[in-house]
Amino acid sequence: MNKALAIQGQERWASALGGAALVVWGAQRLSTRRAGSGAMIATTGAGLLWRASREGAASRHAGARGIIVEQAVAINRSAEDLFAFWRRLEQLPMIIPELRSVRQIDHRRSEWVASVVGGRVVRWHAEIINEMSNALIAWRTVGRSDLETQGSIHFDPRDHDRGTVVRIKLQYDPPAGAAGAAAAWLAGDSPNQVLREGLRRFKQLMETGEIATTEHQPRGAR
């Protein structure tokens, strides 16, 4: 078992144990008449337990080649429209808030900057290694980068009003040493979460023209 898989395995157990503990703690709070928060804590615990049981469904060990994560979503837009948005890499921070910026250096090469937990910054350079118009973009990190990864996005139009299936695969080797922050970000299912939420916002933006939010809305004192 390589190091990344070990981290992931530990997180899964932490999630399961944490979930179980929250269920129990929530139930205890209920018995001390703080029922509302007790119910919520217990429900959250149940959610974590569920998550633990699902962990690994979308990420798997890729032998000597690190971890692979994969997410897919069907979007009610043409493959042409979806491809065109994604190919303008500078737009990606709109749907992946963890990305601070993406700068296109030339047609193939780009520079990426992301914020990770704790406010630290991770940078990498990527180049497009395969591109099929309206169907596929594949890339890998090159040169001086805080992490090493390669990935692809596929656009697959379906019949019967089922939209276009967008599928992202990401393969990475967990970085070590100075890039510990990146390691923390990439450990466990975080990349899955980032990809899933990114695809969700991509779908929202492409289907509705905006991203659903409750920011700036009125609320009372807490």
Partner 1 sequence: MKALVWHGKNDVRVERVPDPEIVNPRDAIIKVTTTAICGSDLHLLDGFIPTMESGDVLGHEFMGEVIEVGSADTHRLKVGDRVVVPFTIACGACFFCKRELWSACDNSNPNARMVEALYGYAGSGLFGYSHMMGGYAGGQAQYVRVPFADVGPMKVPDSLEDEKVLFLTDIFPTGYMAAENCNIQPGDIIAVWGCGPVGQMAIASALMLGAEHVIAIDCVPSRLRMAARRPGVIAVNFEEEDVLDRLKQLTAGRGPDACIEAVGLEAHGATLDAYYDRAKAAMFLATDRPTALRQAIQACRKGGTVSIPGVYGGFLDKMPFGAAFGKGLTFKMGQTHVMKYLKPLLARIEKGEIDPSFVITHRLPIDEAANAYKMFRDQRDECIKVVLKPH
Nearer to partner 1, 90 or 207 (CB): 207
- How wide is the angle at C-alpha 118 spanned by C-alphas 114 and 124, nearest 5°? 25
Q: Which of 151, 163, 174, 198 binds partner 1 (CB under 8 A)?
A: 163
d(CA 31, CA 28): 5
Sign of the CA dihedral running 105, 169, 209, 207: positive
**Interaction between residue 219 and partner 1 (CB under 8 A):** yes
Nearer to partner 1, 127 or 197 (CB): 197
HSE (CB half, 13 Å, CA atoms) of 87?
18
Q: Which residues contact 175 (CB under 8 A, 6 or more apart)?
A: 146, 147, 148, 182, 183, 186
d(CA 221, CA 32): 26
**Interaction between residue 138 and partner 1 (CB under 8 A):** no
How near is the Cβ of 11 to partner 1 at its closest, in Å?
Answer: 16
Q: Which of 1, 64, 178, 221 binds partner 1 (CB under 8 A)?
A: 221
d(CA 181, CA 98): 13
Which part of the chain contacts partner 1 (CB under 8 A), choosing from 83-91, 107-115, 118-126, 201-209? Answer: 201-209
Q: Which of 63, 118, 119, 218 binds partner 1 (CB under 8 A)?
A: 218
**Interaction between residue 130 and partner 1 (CB under 8 A):** no
Nearer to partner 1, 8 or 164 (CB): 164
How near is the Cβ of 17 to partner 1 at its closest, in Å?
Answer: 17
- 157 with 79: CB under 8 angstroms? yes
How near is the Cβ of 46 to partner 1 at its closest, in Å?
Answer: 7
Residue 104 tokens, joined: 């296109």
**Interaction between residue 32 and partner 1 (CB under 8 A):** no
- 49 with 19: CB under 8 angstroms? yes
Q: Which of 20, 39, 58, 184 binds partner 1 (CB under 8 A)?
A: 39
| Residue ranges in contact with partner 1 by CB under 8 A | 26-27, 30-31, 35-36, 38-40, 42-44, 46-47, 50-51, 74, 76, 161-163, 193, 196-197, 200, 203-204, 207-222
